[in-house]
Structure 1
C-alpha cells in the first residue's frame, strides 16, 4: 500500500498520521509537550522538544508501515501559526518559540495599530495587528531583549526551525508567512513597512516558497533517526488553520470550517483576499489561488483543559479507574443543564482574546451566579462561552464575506456531541462532521498529493472526506442562546476598561 504522512506541529502536540491514497488513516502517532509560562503574559515552547516530537512521531508511523510492507511517497507539513524563534548564525536557538498565546507585546501592538501606517500594514498583510503577530513580537524583542536581538541571524517559526535542521535551508511557505504581519499577501514578498517597523531587513527572515515546494537530500543523521531515505520527498505544506479548511472539504462558497482544538477559529476559503476595514478578520494564504478568511479565538479546548486540571481531580481519578476520558465525564455532567445554563454566562478570555476584539487585556468572567448554580452549570456555561466566542467571529465574517450555509466542524471538540450540537444551535446552521477530524493532517496530505502529482487540484479533496455525522439546530435552544449572547456581547463592552485595571494587579 502506498501512503503519505501528514505531519502537524501543533500547540499541544505533534501528530504524524499516515493516509492511504483514498484518504483513510492507516496509522498515527501523537507526542505532546508543555506550554511554558515563565511570566504571566508569556507563553513559549521549547523548539528542540518539538523537533524531537517531529522525529519520533514520524519514526513511529514509518516503523509501523514498514512492518506492513507499505510504501512511503512523502511527508507533508502543517504547523501552528504566529510562533517566532530567534536563532544565531549557527541556527542555534537564542529564545524558545514564542507562541500565538503570548501577550508580552501588548503595548507594542497597540502602538503599531494606532500609528499612521498600522491600518495599511493590516490591509497589505492580512494579519490583524495583535500580540500574536510575529511583527509585534520582533518589535518587542528589539526594545526589550536588545542583546538577543543584536545576535539574531534569523527570526523563524517552528516549521522553519525543523526544515533548517533537516535540510540546512531557511525557507517559509507562503501560508505561514502570511500570518506574520510581515508578508505582503498580494506581492508574495516581505512587506517593507512591516520590516521598517520591526527594525529588520528581509535577510533576517526566511525565503518564501509555495506550499507545494518539495525538499529532498535530508541531513543523514535525521534521516537515520526517522528510519527513512535521505531523498524522501518532504513537502513544506501550509499553516494548520488553512489546512483544516482544506482537510474538512470546507472549500466551496457558503462553506465554513470551525476548528476547536487548543484554541479555535472559523474560516472560509475564497479566490482573493478580502480584508475588513474594521480589522476584525484575517486573510491568510492556503495556495496562491486560495485564500482563507476568518478569525481565531485564543480560548478553545484549553478552557476545558483548565477546568479539568484545576477543578476535576475526583473526575480524573474516576475516569482513570473506568478507563475512559475525563472530558467524557465532564460533558455528561454539563448535559444535565439546559441551554443557557440557567442564566450563568462565561466570558472565556483566560488568554486574552484575538478576533473579533483583538484585546490582549481581556479576562475570563463568570457572570450571573446565584445560589442555585452548581458545578454542572459552570461546566455548561464554560462550553457555551467558547462557542459564543466563535459565534462573535462568525458574525463579523458574514458581514464581510457573505452568508455561511454549512459549517464543517474539525478539531478535538468534535468528540463531544454536546459541544457540536451547541455549535449548531448557536449558529442556527447545519454542522457536518467528517469521519476523520484530523483535518489539518489530511489537508497537508492533499497539498502533498498535489505537489508530487497524484492529483491535479486541491478540490479533489472532496473524494477523500466521507461524512460521519450531521447536526441540525434546535430552534428553542437557538432562541435561548441569542438572548444570552446579547448579554455576553454587552458584558465585554462594559468590562473592557476594567480588564486593563485588573490586569495591572495581576502582574
Structure 2
C-alpha cells in the first residue's frame, strides 16, 4: 500500500489525514495551539507553535503508515489564508502571525473604501477592502509600527513561512497569493498599485507558484524529525476554502459549496474571473483556469456554540446525561419555522460578507414575553442560515441558478440544521459523508501533481456517500416571508454598528 498525507493548517489547530493511494481515509491526527485575542481586535498565532503542530501531525501520520511495505507518495497542504508574518533577513519572525480574524485594520479598511482607487483595486484583485486582507493589515502596520516594518526584509503568510522552515524555499501558491489583496487576477502576478499603497515590494514577497508545485529536499534535520525520506514531495495545495470546494466535487459553476465550521463560506468555482460590480463577493484564483467566487462569513458554528453555552439548561443536560448540543437540537425541533416571529442577526464577531463591516454586532429582533429558550435557540440557528442565504443570493445573482448545494462542516452532525438549510435556501442540499473535504482537496492536487490523475474533476470519483435534503414546502413558504425582513432589519441597524462598537471597546476588559 502507498500513502498520501493531507495537512490542514487551521486557526486553532492543524489536522493531518492519512490516505491510501485510492484516497481512502486510514487515520487522522490533530494538534492545537493558541489563538491570542484581545479587545483591540487582535487575533494572532505563534508561527513556531504552528510549525511544531504541523511536524507533530505529519510524524504521527507517517508513523501510522507502513512505510516498510509502501511509499509515502506526497504530503499536500490546505491552510487558512490572509495571514501576515513579518520576517527578518534570515526569514525569522519579527511578529506573530496576524490572522484573517484580526480586525485592527478596520479603520484602514473604512478609509480605503472611500479612496479614489478602491474600485480599481477591487477590479484588479477581486479582494474586498476589509481588515482581514493582508493589503489593509500592511497599511495598518506601516502606520502603527513603522520601525518594525522598516526591519522587515520579507513578508510571509503561514504557509510560505512553514515551507521555509521545512525546505528553506520562499514560495507561495497562487490561491494564497490571490487572497492577499496584492495579487492581480488578470496578470497572475503581484499588483504594482496595491504594492505601492501597502508599502511593500515584490522582492519582499514569496515567489508565486502553482498549487500543484512540489517542494522536494526536506531540511535534513526535519526529515529525521518527521521520520520520512527527505525526497518526499510536499505539494503546496491551496487555501482551505478552495480545497473544500474541490474536496466535495463542487468544481463546476452549477454547484455551490457551503462550509460551516467556526466561521462559514459560500463559494462557486468558475473557469474565469468573475468580479462582483457591487463588491459583495470575492474572486480568487486557485490555479490556471480555476477560480472561486463567493463570500466568507465570520459567524458560523461559533455563534451556535455561544447560544448553546448560554441558552441550554445545564441542569437538564446533567439530568439527561447527554450532550448539550444534542439537547439544543431536540429543543429547536419543538419550535416552528420562524421561531414564533423572532429574528436573530448573528454578527457576534463583526461580519465579512455580505456586510464587510467589522463593527457589526448581533441582535434579537421581535422578542416578546411569549418567547422561550426554544424560540431563541431556533432563531439563532435560523439567523446563521439566513445570513448564509443573503450571500447565497448574491452568488446566484452573479453566476446563475445552481442545480444543487453541497455543504460540509461540523453542522452536518445536526439533522435539524441540514433540513433548515435546504428550507431557507429553497434548494436541494447534499451532504458528503466525509467531513475532511479540505484534506481530500489537498491530496487531489497532489495526485494531479504526481500524474496519478489527469484532471481535478477526478475528485468526484473519490467522494464517498452523499445524503440529500429536499426543501419542505411549508417551511420554505415561512422563510420566504422572513428573509426580506431579516435583510430590512440588518440595513436599519447597520448605521448604529459603529457607535455600539466604539462604546463596547471603551468598556471592554483587557486581553484574555
Q: TM-score band, normalised by the shorter chain?
A: over 0.9
CA distance in 2, matches of 1:370, 1:391: 26
Q: Which stretch of structure 1 is more off in the superposition, 463-472 or 231-240? A: 463-472
Whole-angstrom CA distance in 1 between matches of 2:212 and 2:177: 14
Kindly state the Cα deviation for residue 414 of structure 1 after the two structures are TM-superposed.
1.3
Aligned to 2:293: 293
Residues of 1 paired with 2:330 and 2:223: CA distance? 45
Is the partner of 2:478 in helix, strand or coil? helix
> What are the Cα deviations for residues 419-451 of structure 1, in whole angstroms up to 9, with x where unaligned?
111111111111111121211110001000001
Cα pair distance change 1:315/1:275, threshold 3 Å: farther
Task: Tell me: CA distance 1:262–1:381, structure 2 relative to 1, closer, same or farther (3 Å).
Answer: same
- Using a 3 Å threshold, how does the CA distance of structure 1 residues 344 and 38 change in structure 2: closer, same or farther? same
Deviation at 1:4, TM superposition (A): 0.8
Question: CA distance change for structure 1 residues 225 and 379 in 2, over 3 Å: closer, same or farther?
Answer: farther
CA change 1:326–1:87 in 2 (3 A) is farther
3-state SS in 2 of match to 1:139: helix
* Separation in structure 1 between the aligned mates of residue 162 and residue 306 of structure 2, nearest angstrom: 29
The secondary structure found in structure 2 opposite 1:343 is coil
2:120 is paired with a residue of what secondary structure? helix
Task: Give 1:343's aligned residue.
Answer: 341
Aligned to 2:392: 394
Give the structure 1 partner of residue 161 of structure 2: 161
Shift in Å, 1:39 = 2.9
Shift of 1:482: 1.9
SS at match of 2:340: helix
Report what 1:58 is aligned to.
Answer: 58
Q: For 1:301 and 1:407, how far apart are their aligned partners in 2?
A: 19
Query: Do the aligned partners of residues 202 and 383 (structure 1) sit closer, same or farther apart at CA in structure 2, a change above 3 Å counting?
Result: same
Q: Is the 8 A contact 2:311 2:377 kept in 1?
A: no
Alignment CA distance shift 1:292-1:315 (3 Å): farther
Residue number in structure 1 paired with 2:136:
136
Secondary structure at the counterpart of residue 476 of structure 1: helix
2:366 is aligned to: 368
Q: Distance in 1 between matches of 2:342 and 2:376?
A: 7
- The TM-score, its normalising length taken from structure 2, stands at 0.95
Alignment partner of 1:18: what SS?
A: strand
Q: 1:311 to 1:338 in 2, by over 3 A?
A: closer
Partner of 1:47: 47
Offset at residue 34 of structure 1 (A):
3.0
Structure 2 counterpart SS, 1:388 = helix
Contact 2:317–2:327 (CA under 8 A) maintained in structure 1: no
Distance 2:305 2:149 in 1: 35
Q: 1:328 aligns with which of 326, 329, 335?
A: 326
**DSSP-derived class of the 1:346 partner:** strand
Name the structure 2 match of 1:108: 108
Q: Give the SS at the match of 1:398.
A: helix
Q: Deviations over 1:87-136 (max 9, x none)?
A: 22222222222111211111111222221111111111111111110000
Residue 246 (1) aligns with residue 246 (2) = yes
Relative to structure 1, is the Cα distance of residues 15 and 277 closer, same or farther in structure 2, using a 3 angstrom cutoff? same
| Aligned 8 A contact 2:6 2:75 in 1 | yes
C-alpha separation in 2, matches of 1:209 and 1:313: 52
Whether the aligned pair in 1 keeps the contact of 2:7 and 2:15 (CA below 8 Å) is yes
Q: Aligned equivalents of 2:323 and 2:235: distance in 1?
A: 35
Equivalent residue, structure 2, for 1:231: 231
Alignment of 1:32 onto 2:32: yes
Take 1:234 and 1:412, find their aligned partners in 2: how far apart are those partners?
28
Distance, in Å, in 2 between the alignment partners of 1:486 and 1:68 is: 61
Q: Any residues of structure 2 matched to 1:115-194 within 5 Å, and which? A: 115-194=115-194
Q: Does 1:305 align with 2:305?
A: yes
Aligned residues of 1:430 and 1:471 also touching (Cα < 8 A): yes
- 1:14·1:53 contact (CA, 8 Å) conserved in 2? yes
Gaps of 5+ in 2: 506-512
Q: Distance in 2 between matches of 1:230 and 1:326?
A: 46
Deviations 1:310-334 (A, max 9, x none): 5558279749x95x65423322222
CA 24–282 in structure 1, closer or farther in 2 if over 3 Å, else same: same
Determine if contact 1:315/1:330 at 8 Å carries over to the other structure.
no
Q: Does 1:6 align with 2:6?
A: yes
Q: 3-state SS of the aligned residue for 2:36? A: coil
Confirm or deny: 8 A CA contact 1:123 1:275 kept in the other structure: yes
CA drift of 1:458 comes to 0.4
**SS of 2:389's equivalent?**
helix
| Structure 1 residues 3 and 266: CA distance shift in structure 2, 3 A | same
Partner residue, 1:471:
469
Deviations 1:325-371 (A, max 9, x none): 54233222222222111112111111111112211111111111121
Kept in 1: contact 2:253–2:399 (CA 8 A) = no
Alpha-carbon contact 1:11-1:262 (below 8 Å) kept: no
